[in-house]
Amino acid sequence: MAEIVIVPDAAAAGALVADEILRLVAANPETVLGLATGSTPLPVYEALRPRLADTDVSLVQGFALDEYVGIDPSHPESYRSVIAREVVEPLGLDPRRIRVPDGSLEGIEHAGDDYERAILEAGGIDLQLLGIGTDGHIGFNEPGSSFASLTRVKTLTEQTRDDNARFFDSVEAVPRHCITQGLGTILRARHLVLLAFGEGKAQAVAGAVEGPLTASLPGSAIQLHPHATVVVDEAAASRLAHTDYYRYTFANKPAWQGL
């Protein structure tokens, strides 16, 4: 079972995860991070900024989870732009060491294989940040995705397009296709950290953590990982059945184990 950490709010979650990332980078300047986009990981990036101010991050590598297919890379909502704006520039990372899946139409047939190769050549991902959609998707792995899937092109569901429409002028402007790390790719990371905040994520979190292992809820794949941590606020934890146990085990966890 994943370790469940219940915190008062998103800021507390951000600080907790940022401390773990700082520990990793201090121990290994060439740490490889898996970078998520959207609103969920923002508290982590915000908390990292002051923590990394006196740390050399010139060798840190990063791999984004996904990208829209056919979107102009300079579009403000392309994930290449988002990662540059919200992660690379604020944290002072070397943009040459941060990769985003190539969503260009030219070469899209082999873009997934190219990305898989790049991750392997970097030595694999040390810590992968994840959010979870209201339908249980992680990355852009929609319900029905194979647990063995690797980076590939997927068709976005209408629910996901509706959820992401807030970042665009309209839902019609949201691309219909994406290229995303697969569930199998995600499960190869050495540590998974899934964050979720708000009542709207409570059902997905409960299903992913305490429900059956099913491709109908891709987030449940984290149950297969030997080192997965789920950090949620009180609202997102509201449908979990064993919150007392989760609070007790985290409160009594040996400090040397880290997150």
The reply to whether 191 belongs to the active site is no
Which residue in the list 67, 102, 126, 135 is annotated as catalytic?
Answer: 135
Considering the candidates 102, 137, 191, 225, report the single residue annotated as catalytic.
137
Q: Is 66 a catalytic residue?
A: yes
Angle at 98 between CA 93 and CA 99, to 5 degrees: 170
Q: Among the options 126, 142, 163, 233, which is catalytic?
A: 142
Burial profile 221-235: b = 16 or more Cβ within 10 angstroms, e = fewer = bbeebeebbbbbbeb
Catalytic one of 66, 86, 102, 116: 66
Amino acid in the structure at residue 208: A
CB-CB contact of 82 with 124 (8 Å): no
Q: What is the DSSP string of 182-246?
A: -HHHHHTSS-EEEEE-SGGGHHHHHHHHHS---TTSGGGGGGG-SSEEEEEETTTTTT-S-HHHH
Residue 72 annotated to the active site: no
For 157, the token pair is 């569901």
Q: Is 19 a catalytic residue?
A: no
Query: What positions carry a catalytic annotation?
Result: 66, 135, 137, 142
